[in-house]
Structure 1
């Protein structure tokens, strides 16, 4: 089972406001329109999306 908190880099006791803020910052940085075809960054983008949806 993936640790969604670790994927986003937040502590397990983080509130939803903090989680959303961190996700938005990472999503802007890793968005496919910005990174192009970089498979590592695209995989990371999908991982943070999954983690955010799960939390």
Structure 2
């Protein structure tokens, strides 16, 4: 199965699965602190983190 197909399956599952179950087929471990850190690093360039810290 292609990554894009796994991604669309994750989106289709919506709230039916726990977040760890959603990300596992994509090879992502949501319990790993690096998962969160990498996600924050990705969005930090958009300025959202600075806005949150300012409030």
TM-score by length of 1: 0.30
Q: Which has the higher contact order (CA 8 A, sep 6+)?
A: 1
TM-score by length of 2: 0.30
**Bigger Rg, which one:** 2
